[in-house]
């Protein structure tokens, strides 16, 4: 097992987020992905999921995400600043 990192999975909606997990489990049945201890917060939290994965899987995760109208990126070490900006810039949108 390689170095574990936290990634962010961002999807168009719940359907495509679930499709990502189904497709990942279909293409890579031996590679389990799991949520870290903390959860996303804020207005877009339901569309953003943090996952704990092996660093060497990143290319495969990005490919599967692109097949499911989703995006994968490495989560910041300190997500506090990003959460503040999300609250500021998405507070007026409904």
What is residue 36's three-state secondary structure? Answer: coil
Q: Which domains does the chain have, with CATH numbers?
A: 4-90 (3.30.70)
Q: Please compute the mean of the pLDDT values over residues 43-67 and round it to a whole number.
A: 84
Edge-first strand listing for the sheet containing 70-74: 48-54, 4-11, 70-74
- What Rg, from alpha-carbon coordinates, does the chain have? 14
Q: Give percent above pLDDT 90 in the chain.
A: 46
> How many distinct helices (H) and strands (E) make up the chain?
3, 3
**Which runs of E-coded beta strand occur in the chain?**
4-11, 48-54, 70-74
- Which pTM value belongs to this model? 0.72
d(CA 75, CA 36): 11
Dump pLDDT digits (tens) for 68-88: 999 999 887 766 666 676 677
């Amino acid at each position: 097992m390689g170095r574990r990192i936290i990634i962010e999975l961002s999807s168009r909606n719940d359907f495509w987020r679930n499709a990502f997990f189904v497709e990942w489990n279909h293409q890579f049945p031996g590679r389990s992905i799991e949520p870290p201890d903390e959860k996303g917060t804020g207005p877009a939290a339901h569309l953003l999921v943090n996952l704990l994965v092996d660093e060497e899987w990143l290319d495969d995760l990005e490919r599967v995400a692109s097949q499911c109208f989703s995006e994968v990126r490495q989560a910041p070490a300190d997500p506090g600043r990003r959460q503040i900006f999300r609250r500021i810039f998405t507070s007026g949108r409904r």
